[in-house]
Amino acid sequence: MSNTSIVMGESGTGKSTSIRNLNPKETFIINVMNKPLPFRGYKQNYVRLSSDGADGNYYSSDSYDNISRVIKLIELKRTEIKTLIIDDFQYLMASEFMSRALERGYDKFSEIGKHAFDLLKLLPTLRDDLDIFILTHSEPNENGKMKIKTIGKMLDEKITIEGMYSMVLQTELMNGNYSFITQGDARHIAKSPMGMFEDRNIPNDLAFVKSKMDQYYNEDIAI
C-alpha cells in the first residue's frame, strides 16, 4: 500500500510551497483549482499531462471521476512517478457544493461526503513505492482545535479523516518562519510515527519529509 499523508493548514501558510524541492521527474501534481504554484520555475518543471497520458506530470480538474482516472493511470502506467500531490483537496468538496448549490434537500451533502471518502479510501491502496501527500485547508472544531476543513457534517460525524492515515502535518507560520508541526497539542491535530522526526517543528519541505519517511520505513532493525 502507498504511504499517504495529510498536510493541512490555512491559506498562505506554506502548503503548496512545500512542493518546491521534490524531484519533478518523479513527482505528479493534481492541482484542483489550477492555481499558479508559488515557487520559481514550476512551469518548466511541471508540464500538463498529454492526451495519451504518457507524458507530463501536472493535471488540473475538480472532477472526482477525472482525478480517479488519472490516479489509476499513474498507478498502472506511470511507474516512474514516486510522489503524488493533491492540492487542494478541500476544493474538491467545495467545487461540488457550489455546482449543486441550488439543489434542495440534504442528500447532496451525503453525496459530497461519500465522493470525498471514496477518493480518500482509494489512495492508500495504490502501489507500495508511491508517497501521496494530500494538501488541504484547516478550520477550528467546536473546541478550537484545528481540523481538516470539510463540507457538511457527514465526514466530521461519521469519519475522522485524520484517523485514516499515520501522518498528519499541520502548517505553522511564526515570525515569518514557515514550518510543519509533527505532533499535536491542545490546538493542533498533528501526528507522525514515533521517532520519525527529531523535532516537533520541521521545515515545510516535502522533499525533507519524504526522505525521513523513506529512511524510517526502510530502516533495517536488528531483532
How many angstroms separate the CA atoms of 90 and 206, rounded?
19
Q: Mind listing the pLDDT tens digit for each residue in 118-158?
A: 999 999 999 999 999 999 998 888 888 888 888 877 777 77
More confident residue, 207 or 103: 207
| Prior bond of 118 cis (ω within 30°) | no
Task: Give me the domains of the chain, ranges plus CATH numbers.
Answer: 3-217 (3.40.50)
Contact 95, 32 (CB under 8 A): yes
Q: What is the pTM of this model?
A: 0.92
**Residue among 89, 108, 107, 88 nearest 98 (CA):** 108
Residue 104 is predicted with a pLDDT of 86
How many angstroms separate the CA atoms of 57 and 45, rounded?
8
Residues 6 or more apart whose CB falls under 8 angstroms from that of 185 comprise none
**Residue among 38, 26, 30, 20 nearest 72 (CA):** 30
More confident residue, 175 or 58: 58
How many angstroms separate the CA atoms of 179 and 153, rounded?
30
